[in-house]
Amino acid sequence: MPKRRSRPPLLPAWKGWIPRRVALLLALQAGLLGACLPPQAHYELGLGTTRITGSLVPAKERPVPGGALIVVYEYHNQFITKADGSAILRPTARVLRPSAQGTFSIGMPTDVVRLDVLFIAPEHLTELFHFQRQLGVGNIDYTARLAAIPDWRSHYYTYLSPQLQALIVDTRYRLAPHEQQLLTDWLQAQNARLGAGHP
C-alpha cells in the first residue's frame, strides 16, 4: 500500500505572514497620522513613540539674555473616562534648555498620551508642537524654526509671561525646584531687558 503524503506544516508560512501584516498595518496607521504632522516633523515606524528629538533654530543667531527654553506639557492617562466617554488626563510639565548647538531630546513615558511642546526664544514667536500618541508612529525628529517677531514686547507680556508664571505657581504641573528657578530667572532676565527699553 502506498504511503500517504503528509501535508507541509503551516507554521513556517504563518511566521512570515504575521510580521509582514503587522508591518503593513503599522505603515498604514503611520501614514494616516503622517498627514497630520507638520512638514518639519519626521518619524519612524514603531509600536509607540518613546522620544522626540530635534533642533531649535531661531531666525536671529545672536545670543540674547536668558536664551532659549523648551516647555513640555505631558498629559497622563488615568484610565478613567467621563460620562461622555472622553478620557480623564492628568497634566504635568517639564522645562529644559536646548544644547549649545540647539539640539534637544524629550522622552515620552508610556502613560503619556499627548504632548504639547512650547519652543521659546526672546524676540521670536513662540512655536507650539502638539502630538497625540498613536499606534504605528515611533520616534520623531522635529525641527522648530522660530520666526523673528518685531513686537516681541506685546507677545511676551500678553501671552508668554502669564503662561510661564502660571506654570510656576500651579502645583498640578509638579515642576521640580530647579525648573521653577530656571523659569523665574528667565522671566526676571526678560523683565529687566524689556524694562531697559529693548524690543
**pTM of the predicted structure, to 2 decimals:** 0.78
If you average pLDDT over every residue of the chain, what do you get?
A: 81
Q: Which three cell numbers stand for residue 187?
A: 522671566
Structural Rg of the chain based on CA atoms: 23
Residues 110-166 pLDDT 10s: 899 999 999 999 999 999 999 888 778 888 999 999 999 989 999 999 999 999 999
pLDDT of residue 198: 65
The domains of the chain, with CATH numbers, are 11-195 (2.60.40.10)
Reported as a pLDDT band with limits 50, 70 and 90, residue 10 is: very low
Q: What's the confidence (pLDDT) of residue 179?
A: 96
Kindly indicate the confidence band of residue 20, based on its pLDDT and cuts at 50, 70 and 90. very low
pLDDT: is 41 or 168 the higher one? 168
Where does the pLDDT of residue 168 fall: very low under 50, low under 70, confident under 90, or very high at 90 and above? Answer: very high
Closest among 151, 170, 155, 161 to 191, alpha carbons compared:
161
| pLDDT for position 136 | 80
Nearest to 121 by CA among 148, 141, 99, 101: 148
- Residue 69: helix, strand or coil by DSSP? strand
Q: Which three cell numbers stand for residue 192?
A: 529687566
Q: What is the pLDDT of residues 38-90, one digit of tens each?
A: 777 888 887 788 899 999 999 987 767 689 999 999 999 988 877 777 778 99
The DSSP letter of residue 162 is: H
